[in-house]
Amino acid sequence: MWPKDLNIDVSRETHEKLELYHALLLKWQKAINLVSSKTIDEAWVRHFADSVQIDRHMPFDVSRESRIVFDLGSGAGFPGLVLAILRPDLKVRLIESDERKCQFLKTVSRETNVDVTVHNSRIEDVQNDICPDLITARALADLKTLLEYIEPWALASPNLQCLFLKGAKVEEELEGARKYFLFDCEQFPSVTDRQARILHLRNITRKNGA
């Protein structure tokens, strides 16, 4: 799995499920492009550990009632499906427009016995009858575009929070997003990439006239 210096610790049951997830990723990657081929040999760090770390920054305590999490552009399930494995108290919905990737997500869910809801849909087309408590995304779009995606939910639920995994251009993305949106943002360093950050956003509103 990942190197010990990342200081990531999971239960034996979680470890077994992640091992199975990894095996399925390697198998399916041969048929469809789930992740970049350049990263598949380092999947434990580049994808699994990168996703696992956001649990440290979850704004919800496990002792509280179930919370709804939307993972946008889930792809191969990072970070949403990993988070569902780590936190069975959460109600995780994976939103992905690629049907083949959705089939992969459903397979991992079934094989690991992890309950998630998979939406084979564009983000804009997801029904708004349920508002999430938390939205996650990784390697999907720049921050301004992400905030445009989530704006309907932010309007419907002022308490909405977000955890976004961002790369080396995080400051540039923050500057661009702040031209159009107001939000509170807390940054955390990534354990897998010195240049990357985890952004925790809340109180998201569009600027007047923007």
pLDDT of residue 185: 97
Q: What is the pTM of this model?
A: 0.94
Structural domain count of the chain: 1
Domain assignment present for 3:
no
Predicted confidence (pLDDT) per residue in 151-173, tens digit: 999 999 889 999 999 999 999 99
Whether residue 188 is contained in a domain is answered as yes
pLDDT band at 61 (very low <50, low <70, confident <90, very high): low
Neighbours of 177 (CB within 10 A): 22
Q: Is 165 helix (H, G, I), strand (E, B) or coil?
A: strand
Q: Is residue 99 part of a domain?
A: yes
Q: Decide if 2 is inside a domain.
A: no
Owning domain of residue 58: 11-206
Q: Show the DSSP H helices in the chain as ranges.
A: 12-29, 43, 50-52, 80-86, 99-112, 143-156, 170-177
Rounded Cα distance, 189 and 65, in Å: 28
Specify if 98 maps to a domain.
yes
In a domain, 60, yes or no: yes
The pLDDT assigned to 64 comes to: 60
Longest Cα–Cα distance in the chain: 52
Give the mean model confidence (pLDDT) for residues 23-50. 94
Residue 63 has pLDDT above 60, yes or no: no
Residue 4 placed within a domain = no
pLDDT of residue 40: 92
pLDDT single digits (tens) 99-146: 999 999 999 999 999 999 999 999 988 867 788 999 999 989 999 999
131 within some domain: yes
CATH at 65 = 3.40.50.150
Query: What is the average per-residue pLDDT within 43-56?
Result: 94
